[in-house]
Structure 1
């Protein structure tokens, strides 16, 4: 992917300080609440669910399908390519449901443990939980519309259920939240880019309207959580953030999709992992958030750097 991330420092070599006052944070939350009230959308009412899919339109942009540009893609018929894009959309939506669920769990815990319960920040975060629930509903309805069953990952679901709330509620949660919010925003933007089924375009547009605010809040929240944290906590948050990048990169290539297509699974997986489409997905999901997190003070330890390099991100040469 060739993504570069930077490390701005103060004149004495320390991390850049961006700590804001409690009043500033409350004002930000209040502004987001007002914005959300002005452009709130309902996934049940604002999408034409009764309209059938349009023949000839892909479910995902071709450049987002993992085998696009490979020999396996060339060998597929137009009907098979459409089927592959439909299956990969279902797989992507299933992963998005898991990500939204994790974000809901972490956000609601933060309201209970860290927020003032009745202040604007708490109200904004509860609004975020409500938006995650709306997104999950939209994604589920779109899966139903494809006529395919969801690609449920039972082991992943059990691990998320068991370990999500064990993530420390501090800088580590901030890093995980930023990476997941960024991945959802980037991938949904990519999925709706170009000529795709109207339902896909409508859902991605509704998702992006809210995700812009979620992402802005996640960035500011990470900066606040990192303020005054020492190298050990920053390293822990860095490893957690890099872990999200690594895990999502692996999960976006699902052997079950190729198996259901009747393709040779090992060959298809190898091709997908080195395809331009997979690199484009990873760029869309993480380029901006990795760079921002690095500028905020993360990814300065050897372990997280190594994890990001293996995922395709690198530091610029000096």
Structure 2
């Protein structure tokens, strides 16, 4: 980076550190963990359910719908934990042995600390929702293991941004929805506020690291980011949520696959993200294949 770029990065990190000092949360104290789960509430906004708008949804009782959305919320949270662990390792590796007096270094550690709290918060939230651990399928786990080891620069930060942006749009809806369990709304509120800083940092890092990159580098990174996006998004709703919610798993999976309402929600949630990736040269034709498969575009 040039001197001007260095100063801009320094200023951004300083602002984010100040924001973190002024507006951060302690989920252990600010989420109501003690009040028993009220099963009259949903886990997500019903419209975000993978079965909303299907004939199966129309046949389900209100209690079944609420049970399903609670398992869906737990599954999304579990996927969030999985990717936050990948994120933390990529950021730690990126800032290994760098200047600890630099605000960027200190912000990186602040972000990692935030992610640790978020992962614990999501884990406790899933437990309170009465759901099991929804670990992504083995293929995604092993590819994630490779990705966190080799991804660097813009590939790492753009992937971080993809995961956070998709979750951010969903959670903004859920945190305002009084049909959603109050403690889940609090979790979403905390995550949205603190992740807004992380997304700002990821956007800036992606733009800076893409400056001067050649055609081949852009092509490789575009596919790497798109592949990561595909596995993150397709892992959010674990196949086992339906059986665990007392539904016919095979029928639910068929109807989920053909649910145009849910696909449209995903696409609309990613409009701004796709515009940003295009502006960085990361929305190539090969990358588009992955985004279309994940219903993100």
Whether these two folds match at TM > 0.5 is: yes
C-alpha distance in structure 2 between counterparts of 1:55 and 1:184, whole Å: 24
2:153 corresponds, among 163, 170, 188, to: 170
Bigger shift: residues 68-77 or 237-246: 237-246
Cα offset, 1:84, TM superposition: 0.8
Which consecutive residues of structure 2, in runs of 5 or more, have no partner in the other structure? Answer: none
Aligned residue in 2 for 1:64: 48
Q: Matched residue of 1:217: which SS?
A: helix
Aligned residue in 2 for 1:5: none
TM-score scaled to structure 1, two decimals? 0.85
C-alpha distance in structure 1 between counterparts of 2:50 and 2:270, whole Å: 17
The answer to whether the Cα contact below 8 Å between 1:19 and 1:224 also exists between their aligned partners in 2 is: no
Aligned residue in 1 for 2:206: 222
Aligned residue in 1 for 2:117: 134
Cα offset, 1:101, TM superposition: 1.0
Change (3 A) 1:281 1:73: same
Would you tell me which structure has more helix in proportion to its own residues? 2
C-alpha distance in structure 2 between counterparts of 1:244 and 1:157, whole Å: 9
Bigger shift: residues 277-286 or 241-250: 277-286
Aligned residue in 2 for 1:181: 164
The answer to whether the Cα contact below 8 Å between 1:58 and 1:85 also exists between their aligned partners in 2 is: yes
Asked if 1:299 corresponds to 2:289, the answer is no
Aligned residue in 2 for 1:311: 294
C-alpha distance in structure 1 between counterparts of 2:195 and 2:49, whole Å: 23
C-alpha distance in structure 1 between counterparts of 2:198 and 2:3, whole Å: 19
C-alpha distance in structure 2 between counterparts of 1:86 and 1:111, whole Å: 37
Q: Matched residue of 2:37: which SS?
A: coil
Aligned residue in 2 for 1:236: 220
Cα offset, 1:22, TM superposition: 0.3
Change (3 A) 1:202 1:156: farther
Q: Matched residue of 1:150: which SS?
A: coil
Bigger shift: residues 38-47 or 272-281: 272-281
Aligned residue in 2 for 1:15: none
Asked if 1:25 corresponds to 2:9, the answer is yes
C-alpha distance in structure 2 between counterparts of 1:43 and 1:102, whole Å: 21
Residues 184-230 of structure 1, C-alpha deviations (whole Å, 9 max, x = no match): 32232233241211101101111111111111111111000100100
Change (3 A) 1:97 1:19: farther
Bigger shift: residues 195-204 or 283-292: 283-292
Aligned residue in 2 for 1:207: 191
Change (3 A) 1:291 1:262: same
The answer to whether the Cα contact below 8 Å between 2:99 and 2:105 also exists between their aligned partners in 1 is: yes
Aligned residue in 2 for 1:102: 86
Change (3 A) 1:108 1:184: farther
Aligned residue in 1 for 2:18: 34
The answer to whether the Cα contact below 8 Å between 1:183 and 1:285 also exists between their aligned partners in 2 is: yes
Q: Matched residue of 1:44: which SS?
A: helix
Which consecutive residues of structure 1, in runs of 5 or more, have no partner in the other structure? Answer: 1-17
C-alpha distance in structure 2 between counterparts of 1:272 and 1:126, whole Å: 39
TM-score scaled to structure 2, two decimals? 0.91
| Larger relative contact order (Cα-Cα within 8 Å, sequence gap ≥ 6) | 1
Q: Could you say what the CA RMSD is over the residues aligned between the two structures, in angstroms?
A: 2.2
Change (3 A) 1:284 1:139: farther
Cα offset, 1:161, TM superposition: 6.1
1:73 corresponds, among 57, 63, 67, to: 57
